[in-house]
A and B are shown apart, each in its own frame.
Chain A
Amino acid sequence: MKGQQLPLAVALRETSSFASFHAGPNTQAVSTLRGLLNPGGGLALLLHGPAGSGKTHLLQALGREAASLRISHAYVHLPSHLAELPEALAGLEARKLVCLDGLDEAPLPEAGVLALARLIDAIKSRGGNLVLAARKPGHQLQFARPDLATRISACASFGLRPLSDEDRARLLMLRAHARGLHLPDDVAHYLLKRLARDIGSLLEAVETLDRASLSAQRRLTIPFVQSVLLRA
């Protein structure tokens, strides 16, 4: 163990912010989302994209920015409140911005579907902003009642497109930088070739490498990364 620095048990959690999101081909979606924080508003958006495409990150980033601007807002991960959705959604229409995540991660019970449909009506009637996030695009979403599906079809829909390899490499470098870690270009591309390509796995690897680099007091080089990943 000599020479090794013990990393803290709690890794620093990167906060979800717009700065730590690499928009790549999704700049329009990101800009529209940020535009919701400008005065005016009254927009309803649907962000859709597969797991790991950054929906939750963006919703939470929007919440953070809203908080810093003292804009009243709410974030609800719907699948975590399946049994009491009407209660979890009650009163949210009074917020200027409401973000509802995980629309199609689990089937919503009928009472929740209706509560959600009413909430959407109430937010729109008050001129509030609404952002919904789902894995599938609007026309593929199915609910216990059609009332919700048609309301969602009235949202401006933005699909989050997968990042290109170049964008992925840039994202890894950006996230490493946010942790105070220098990830050279060649190492980032090495990771892309060797690891599962979904963003979640890649970011986990950055976290592992951060710990290992801190512990071994080594910079990130291909041989070092090789040795760490072999161990993992």
Chain B
Amino acid sequence: MSGDTLWLDCVRRLEAQLPETDVNAFLRPLHAVLSAEQLTLLAPNRVVVERVRRDFLGPIRKAISELLPYDLTINVTVGAPSAVPTRTVIAEKVEEPPASTSFATGRLDPRYTLDAFIEGKSNSQARAAAEYVAGAPGGQYNPLLIYGESGLGKTHLMHGVGHSILARNPRARVVYIGAEQWLNQFTSAIRLGRAEEFKNHYRTADALLIDDIHFIAGKERTQEEFFHTFNALIETRKQIVLTCDRYPKELDGLDERLKTRFAWGLSVPVEQPDLETRAAILISKADQQDLKLKEDVALLIARRVRSNVRELEGALNRLAATARLTGQPVTVEFAMESLRDMFAVYDRAVTLDNIKKEVAGYFNIRLNDLSSVRRTRSLARPRQIAMALAKELTQHSFTEIGDAFGKDHTTVLHAHRKVAELRESDPRVREDYSNLLRKLTT
């Protein structure tokens, strides 16, 4: 059903309740755009918008709720149906054949295999779990939930599991879909009276991979349907793999029953990769583009670009594009020149002053405390972390960093070693350090 068709039906209902002059002046001129969760009413000007919002939104909501079996957010705004030139699509002569099922699901990205996944300390647990699940789907780790921030490789691992299951059993039905696409399909299946078809499609998969499951938080009906699909698959020992932007227990708006069920399987984190892993990722991605990237160049980029894998990819893509264009060899000098703008942005963000400010704010201490002579643990630890961050993020020497903190270079050297040690042994220091690193580099 298009938005305008729904709107016509709605206006027909309202005609019986509202004065004809109002319907003609304020409701008929509206155009409607319908998406999965929202009906947007486009009005010709602000006067109409305000009048509709003030006097007619209630009756409109009621009429829509009688016409549709699910709730929609209704939004009134100034706008007009878009003109043709804002969207031009030129297809090839031979269109792709339509998908065999009407519930289109995503394709597994051929590049995202487990073999192509670069392992480091930050993701080794997730990688090992993915390997295990791929070898024994529907077994001990069901569901497998991979969580972490955007751009760290969750989707890569998930696709990798899908590829490996298919490599072992080419007849397996591996279904991959984004959570919001699942939601859209679910609402339109209900609208079109095809809920049964929708259920069968997903409940008969051999492996169901749902990306960004956090998207269903706060959406009760979708969670209800997902809950049943989840149960159906687990009972028949089919594998479920999910990705989420945080540890699921921390996800507000997610049904407790789902949180409990997610805990039946295995939740594994992916974190920001360390320097060596970042360099290895760059070399591997360069290989995929037939670009020979020397280690010194990879390290140069990895030192500056540290927030996530996609930013590394962006730097590499820019470098590769420039190298192809100019035909020059990719040396450290060439990389410095090609990525000058990008590096300048990072350098601006990570000054000694900025590091001190962020660390003081994070630990809720005064800026002066970072340079004071007091040695209480509550001040000494933040000071050491600030110095270690300064060493990792800037090109300054130990002496220069010491000057900025009113200390000598041996104190900085000690802080640098101490924090490296604590990051291995103390989870709280590890978390504080990685939070600050992220704040300073994104």
A157 touches B342 (CB 8 A): yes
Q: Tell me, yes or no, whether A122 is within 8 Å of chain B by CB.
A: yes
In the complex, which residue of chain B has the Cβ closest to the Cβ of A98? B89
Which residues from 17 to 33 on chain B have a C-beta closer than 8 Å to any C-beta of chain A?
33
A interface residues, how many (CB within 8 angstroms):
54
**Interface status of B212 (Cβ within 8 A of chain A):** yes
Check if B35 sits within 8 Å of A87, measured CB to CB: yes
Cα of A7 to Cα of B317 in the assembled complex, Å: 49
Q: Residue-by-residue, is A87-118 near B (CB-CB < 8 Å gives 1, otherwise 0)?
A: 11000101110000000000001010011001
Instruction: Report yes or no: B107 in contact with A111, Cβ–Cβ below 8 A.
Output: no
Q: How many A-B residue pairs have CB under 8 A?
A: 139
Q: Which of A111-157 touch B at CB < 8 Å?
A: 111, 114-115, 118, 121-122, 124-126, 137-139, 145-147, 149-151, 153-157
Main secondary structure on B side of the interface with A: mixed
Q: Please pick, from A32, A96, A150, A158, the residue contacting B311 in the complex, using a CB distance under 8 A.
A: A150
State which residues 60-109 of B face A: CB under 8 Å.
77, 79, 82-83, 86-92, 95-96, 106-109
Q: Which residues of A contact B325 (CB under 8 A)?
A: 28, 31-32, 35
Taking the nearest CB of chain B, how far is it from the CB of A132, in angstroms?
12
- What CA separation (Å) do A114 and B184 show in the bound complex? 12
Please count how many residues in chain B sit with their CB below 8 Å of the partner chain's CB atoms. Answer: 54
Indicate which residue in B107, B321, B322, B345 contacts A125 across the interface (CB closer than 8 Å).
B107
Which chain A residues lie closer than 8 Å to B96 at the CB level?
94
Complex CA gap A92/B89 in Å reads 8
Which B-chain residue is minimally distant from A96 (CB atoms)?
A: B92
Please, which residues of chain B bring their CB within 8 A of the CB of A154?
151, 310-311, 313-314, 317
At the interface, yes or no: B308 with Cβ under 8 Å from chain A? yes
CB distance from B87 to the nearest CB of A (A): 5
| Residue from the list B89, B112, B151, B215 in contact with A153, Cβ < 8 A | B151
> Which stretch, B37-45, B130-138, B221-229, B249-257, touches the partner chain A?
B37-45
* Other contacts beyond A151-B310, A157-B314: 7, CB < 8 A: A74-B89, A83-B35, A84-B35, A94-B95, A124-B109, A125-B112, A150-B311
Point out residues on A near B: beta carbons under 8 Å. 28, 31-32, 35, 43-45, 63, 66-67, 70, 72-77, 80-81, 83-84, 86-88, 92, 94-96, 109, 111, 114-115, 118, 121-122, 124-126, 137-139, 145-147, 149-151, 153-159
